[in-house]
Chain A
Amino acid sequence: MRIIIAGAGDVGTHLAKMLSGENQDITLMDESQERLGSLDSNFDLLTLESSPTSIRDLREAEADKADLFVAVTPDESRNIVACQLAHSLGAQKTLARIDNYEFLMPKYREFFASIGVDSLIYPEMLAAKDIVDGMRQSWIRQWWEFADGALVMIGVKLRENAEILNVPLYTLGTDLSYHIVAIVRDDQTYIPGGSDIIEAGDLVYFMAKKKDIPLIRRIAGKQELPDIRDVIIMGGSRIAVRAAQLMSDSCNVKIIERDLARCHRLTEALSSRIMVINGDGRDPSLLVSEGIDHTEAFIALTDSSETNILACVAAKRFGVAKTIAEVENIDYITMAEKLDVGAVINKKKIAASHIYQMMLDADVSNVKCLTFASAEVAEFIVKHGARVTKGYVKDLNLPKGATIGGLIRDNEGLLVSGSTQIMEGDHVVVFCLDGMIRKLERYFN
């Protein structure tokens, strides 16, 4: 696919790096040479020092031949103009990053399509949604859906109280309603076989149908959290506003913001049930007086990643069950996950992976890849006469380091065991270590 990304900000750069590893033709446009930096000598992509709203520069970038045009500069109206120009020049699909909730309303979708903007993305909104989802199912670290939710894959960190620790996996039985596809231990990803065991502290990826998720929760030894009633949000950013609005009415939300002028603006933007407090969220006495000890969730959304991480660690000490920290510095994320911070959100990653997902949905080829935890999930459509259709799964001799997670047949999710027969036309979800995809392709074509 030929993809043009306009704007080498955080989201654009992250997206470009991600896609360049996927054998896509990436062109990254930005007016500032500083922001483009030495990207093109470190990643397989083309950088152009040019303006995304200049017709000549868009021609130079071959916008007319682009399959996808993504405008992610900080300015929403510029993004929309760039998309319109690219669309008129002949780009197949356009996507603009926006900052305006109104634009996202479904009734305007047709309108935007008619002016040449096919999709809109609002990163703050996505981050807020992620926070609210995370509050609902707080024990799940990662969540991927296949075929509109027919199958899900979830990542769960197992602690000492899990039921399936320290026994070889084959003793769990053969006809399970879940499938363990990967284990991440000490930054290493393993594809487990029958004789492997799970240890406390492992991040385990399960593949299951949606209805079986409560069962996984039980064997993982996770408690259903009590309903969250009291929430403290530190930092009155745009994400905070969106998250506060998305939370159900039964929640008592308090937003602590240091800047008084911003507090006033927050009160204008939010409904009266949300309390805005002017103060420093790092001040324990303020937190105690606002009732941190009976708060169920603490969300740190200030501009400073360090502050957010430390504030969440502190909140855990106060006994808050669920903490979420916004960490914009990508290098800090793994470190933050090792500390007892709870969930971590990153606006750039959310936005980039959302765009990525949208792109995959548009892709007509039969391989879809999602990359994370140094492993790949691919969805193959089984072609006529493919090698996988020639016998039961256990007789296929799949390469080591790959496992078939499940398959989708007639929009119905199925888990795969040794005695499953794969048929032509199935969508097979495969989990494998980095770089195995090419080897696996042979089995499905």
Chain B
Amino acid sequence: MIHIRVIYRILSVLLAIEAGVLLLCSIIPLVTSEPDMFAFMASALITGCCAMLLSTFGKKGNRHDGISRRDGYVVVTLSWALFSFFGCLPFYISRFVPEFTNAFFETISGFTTTGASVISNVEILPHGLLFWRSLTQWFGGLGIVFFTVAVLPVFGIGDVRLFAAEAIGPTHGKLHPRISVSGRWILTVYAILTIACTIALKLVGMGFFDSINHALCTIATGGYSTRNASIGAFHSVAIENVITVFTFLSGINFSLLFFMLFKGRIGKMFYDTEFRSYFILTMSVAIIIAAVITASTGNGLWKSLHLSMFQVISLVTTTGFVTNDVYNWPAPVYMILSVMMCLGACAGSTTGGMKGARSIILFRALHNEFYRILHPNAVLPIRINHKVIPDSTRQTVFTFTICYVGLIATSWIIYMITGMNMSDAFYASTAIVSNTGTAVGSFDAANSFDTTLSWDVLSFAAKWYTCLLMLVCRLEIFAALLIFSPSFWKHL
């Protein structure tokens, strides 16, 4: 049963919030006296009017009707699509991104924290637009609906269903019985990390505006930069190290960070299976790659370690910041990095990818299958944090993995049809499916010493396909694909 009026009502609230944020962004051009003020004002006005229109449609909706599971999925998917649509207006109206397709691509890539940019020269953008671009990532980091519900618990009981529809990862632990309180705690951790990152970047010599923007994109693990050459533009080891530390932190389950920050329970962290494997995997891959690039490029060991650490963490957390050096690395490294991107960091963080918990379940199941050949009668449970994972979760993880690999394969083919060569298409599809947005070693590697990885080379059809793919993968495949399935719309 779809409660259409309740959906209108919720969407109207969400859009009203977006309109408010757009209006706040118009303060920046006021200060810097740049030409994008009108664009922000107009976008805020359009968004606000649409919100008002929706709220009149939803007026008769009884808030106590409650939100069914279906409503939850519809609201979540629609809100991401609508946010991206209205969020692209400033780019489009200001004519800095004259094609609508590009503006929409840029925005949805921001909200989904993919960070794939079609703007070949971001440095000509005014400050307001740059900030809005970073802010989309920050909003999308924890999830648009999550963010709203945590700030304004306006939907009553329905909050829980909305959260469930947007939830990230195979298992989700709450911090507090009340979902809105849990949400607020998580949001606090998010805000603290962002502020800390801004201060740290400022201290190591980045400008104030750049610090804020990079902090927003780092903690959201998005990867937009205010410079064409991404982090590489700053030529600063200290900045790269700060970014490394904060991307690593953003890849940790935020509940664990909460326990560490507010309850001082650091032990809990190393007790957590997912965190341990995240830590060990990231470090060992970084060391291996450091060894490889020391051998192949002749860099010093410490320099290689620093570079590989930055790159591995940036990609495993699906952030997608790069340094120039990466283009000199041997080709197999790109492949390893692509696999790492797909595995992803911890569930309950801002990262994309498959998430550690799923990978662990998958690998343990694989291990069990081999073990079972030797001991046919053994009962082999899969444990995470000493708790046995129920069979249904295991099933879901298998299904998810098949969908995930299927999506990569399908996208690979589709990108090739739209005219890419085989390896470019592969790197592009892994970059989008994992929401990283950086196709390492891909089509733009040759000319990327002075530009960021530009997705502008994609054809018109490929761009729209990419938009859809980013959204589907950000909502962990099922939530978004569900509303395209016929059975979802049967028996309304």
B375 at interface (Cβ–Cβ under 8 A)? no
A42 CA / B159 CA spacing, docked (Å) = 9
Neighbouring B residues of A44 by C-beta, 8 Å? 157, 159-160, 177-179
Interface code A249-268, partner B: CB below 8 Å = 1, 0 otherwise?
A: 00000000000000000000
Q: Give the size range of B's interface with the partner.
A: 10 to 19
Contact assessment for B387 and A42 in the assembled complex, using a CB-CB cutoff below 8 Å: no
Nearest Cβ distance between residue A255 and chain B, in whole angstroms?
A: 42
B64 at interface (Cβ–Cβ under 8 A)? yes
Smallest Cβ-Cβ distance to A23: which chain B residue: B178
Neighbouring A residues of B159 by C-beta, 8 Å? 44
Nearest Cβ distance between residue B177 and chain A, in whole angstroms?
A: 4
Task: Identify which of A2, A34, A41 contacts B160 (C-beta below 8 A).
Answer: A41
B394 at interface (Cβ–Cβ under 8 A)? no
Nearest Cβ distance between residue B72 and chain A, in whole angstroms?
A: 9
Nearest Cβ distance between residue B391 and chain A, in whole angstroms?
A: 10
Contact assessment for B160 and A435 in the assembled complex, using a CB-CB cutoff below 8 Å: no
Contact assessment for B64 and A434 in the assembled complex, using a CB-CB cutoff below 8 Å: yes
Nearest Cβ distance between residue B254 and chain A, in whole angstroms?
A: 16
Interface code B245-289, partner A: CB below 8 Å = 1, 0 otherwise?
A: 000000000000000000000000000000000000000000000
B235 at interface (Cβ–Cβ under 8 A)? no
A130 at interface (Cβ–Cβ under 8 A)? no
Smallest Cβ-Cβ distance to B160: which chain A residue: A44
A44, A46, A49, A434 — which one has the most chain B CB atoms within 10 A of its CB? A44
A23 CA / B177 CA spacing, docked (Å) = 10
Selecting from A25-33, A103-111, A412-420, the interface stretch reads A25-33
Contact assessment for B177 and A27 in the assembled complex, using a CB-CB cutoff below 8 Å: yes
Task: Identify which of A25, A434, A435 contacts B178 (C-beta below 8 A).
Answer: A25
Nearest Cβ distance between residue A435 and chain B, in whole angstroms?
A: 5
A41 CA / B177 CA spacing, docked (Å) = 12
Contact assessment for B178 and A42 in the assembled complex, using a CB-CB cutoff below 8 Å: no
B174 at interface (Cβ–Cβ under 8 A)? yes
Smallest Cβ-Cβ distance to B62: which chain A residue: A435
A2 CA / B176 CA spacing, docked (Å) = 10
Dominant secondary structure of chain A at its interface with chain B: mixed
B164 at interface (Cβ–Cβ under 8 A)? yes
Interface code A12-52, partner B: CB below 8 Å = 1, 0 otherwise?
A: 00000000010101110000011000001111111001000
A202 CA / B176 CA spacing, docked (Å) = 43
Neighbouring A residues of B179 by C-beta, 8 Å? 44
Nearest Cβ distance between residue B63 and chain A, in whole angstroms?
A: 7
Neighbouring A residues of B63 by C-beta, 8 Å? 435
A434 CA / B157 CA spacing, docked (Å) = 13
Given contacts A33-B390, A434-B64, A435-B63, contact A45 B161 (CB under 8 A): no
Neighbouring A residues of B178 by C-beta, 8 Å? 23, 25, 44
Contact assessment for B161 and A435 in the assembled complex, using a CB-CB cutoff below 8 Å: no
Smallest Cβ-Cβ distance to A26: which chain B residue: B177
A-facing residues in B431-459 (Cβ within 8 Å): none
Interface code A284-312, partner B: CB below 8 Å = 1, 0 otherwise?
A: 00000000000000000000000000000
A34 CA / B388 CA spacing, docked (Å) = 12
A-facing residues in B151-183 (Cβ within 8 Å): 157, 159-161, 163-164, 167, 174, 176-179, 181
A2 CA / B178 CA spacing, docked (Å) = 10
Neighbouring B residues of A41 by C-beta, 8 Å? 160-161, 163-164, 167
Task: Identify which of A21, A25, A435 contacts B177 (C-beta below 8 A).
Answer: A25
A-facing residues in B112-168 (Cβ within 8 Å): 157, 159-161, 163-164, 167
Neighbouring B residues of A21 by C-beta, 8 Å? 157
A434 CA / B65 CA spacing, docked (Å) = 10
A45 CA / B181 CA spacing, docked (Å) = 11
Contact assessment for B390 and A40 in the assembled complex, using a CB-CB cutoff below 8 Å: no
Contact assessment for B164 and A42 in the assembled complex, using a CB-CB cutoff below 8 Å: yes
Interface code B62-79, partner A: CB below 8 Å = 1, 0 otherwise?
A: 011000010000000000
A43 CA / B179 CA spacing, docked (Å) = 9
Smallest Cβ-Cβ distance to B180: which chain A residue: A44
Smallest Cβ-Cβ distance to B159: which chain A residue: A44
Smallest Cβ-Cβ distance to B390: which chain A residue: A33
A34 CA / B387 CA spacing, docked (Å) = 14
A414 CA / B2 CA spacing, docked (Å) = 45
Neighbouring A residues of B69 by C-beta, 8 Å? 42
A46 CA / B182 CA spacing, docked (Å) = 10
Smallest Cβ-Cβ distance to A39: which chain B residue: B160
Smallest Cβ-Cβ distance to B153: which chain A residue: A44
Neighbouring A residues of B160 by C-beta, 8 Å? 40-44
Neighbouring A residues of B181 by C-beta, 8 Å? 25
Contact assessment for A46 and B177 in the assembled complex, using a CB-CB cutoff below 8 Å: yes
Can you give 13 A-B contacts (C-beta < 8 A)? A2-B177, A23-B178, A25-B181, A26-B177, A41-B160, A41-B161, A41-B163, A41-B164, A42-B164, A44-B160, A44-B179, A46-B176, A435-B63
Closest 9 CB pairs of A and B: A41-B164, A25-B177, A46-B177, A46-B174, A44-B160, A435-B64, A26-B177, A27-B177, A434-B64
Beyond A25-B177, A44-B157, 7 additional pairs, beta carbon < 8 A: A40-B160, A41-B160, A42-B69, A44-B160, A44-B178, A434-B64, A435-B63
Instruction: Give chain A's interface residues, CB within 8 Å of chain B.
Output: 2, 21, 23, 25-27, 33-34, 40-46, 49, 434-435
Instruction: Give chain B's interface residues, CB within 8 Å of chain A.
Output: 63-64, 69, 157, 159-161, 163-164, 167, 174, 176-179, 181, 387, 390
